[in-house]
Amino acid sequence: MTERLGQPGRSGSSRSRLRRAHEALYRATGGRVGHHVPGRPSMLLLHHVGAKSGTRRTSGLTYMLCDGSFVVVGSNGGGARNPGWVHNLRAFPEAEIQVGPEKIKVRAREPGDGERERLWAQAARYHPAWERFQQRTPHALPIVILTPRQA
C-alpha cells in the first residue's frame, strides 16, 4: 500500500501547501513539532484508508477533546463537498490518530441529532473558523467523533 498526505487535487493554493508542510513537519518530528501552534487549535494526524482505493492516507485535522474522545469537523474550507477523509471513515471507521508523539487506535462515528447539536455549539465556540466555513456551504458540516479503542 502506498501512503499519501492530505487530499489530492488541492495543491494549487498556498493554504494547501502550508497544510501539507505542517503535516510533513508533524510526521518528520514524530509529533514533537506541529501538534500545538501558538494561537491556533491543536492538530492531530488522522491515518485512514481510502474508501475506493484502499490506499493509506494521512490528514492533518484540527480537533477538540470531548468526554475522552477527539472531535473533528469535515469543513473542507466551506467547500461544496465533504473532505475525502469523511467518506473514507464512513467506509472504514477503524483508524489511527497521532496526537503529538502518541499514536492511538480509534473508531469513528458521527453523532446523532441531539448529540450533534450539542457538539456543534461547542465546536463553533472552540474554533470559530468552523462556523465561518459552515456559512459558506448549504450542507451541514459533518462532525466525526474519534473514540479510542481498547487494545
Contact status, residue 74 vs residue 123, Cβ threshold 8 Å: no
Contact status, residue 103 vs residue 96, Cβ threshold 8 Å: yes
Q: Which fold has domain 3-148?
A: Pnp Oxidase; Chain A (2.30.110)
Q: Enter the C-alpha cell of residue 49.
A: 484508508
User: Could you read off the pLDDT of 28-40 as tens digits, one per residue?
Assistant: 888 888 887 777 8
Q: Report residue 109: phi and psi, to 5°.
A: -150, 155
pLDDT, the chain, mean: 88
pTM: 0.85
Domain-wise residue ranges, the chain: 3-148
Interatomic CA distance for residues 45 and 58, integer angstroms: 6
**pLDDT > 70 in the chain, percent:** 91
Q: Report residue 29: phi and psi, to 5°.
A: -100, 10
How confident is the model at residue 3, as a pLDDT?
39
How confident is the model at residue 151, as a pLDDT?
65
The closest alpha carbon to 96, from 47, 33, 40, belongs to: 47
Q: Enter the C-alpha cell of residue 148.
A: 479510542
| Average pLDDT of span 93-110 | 97
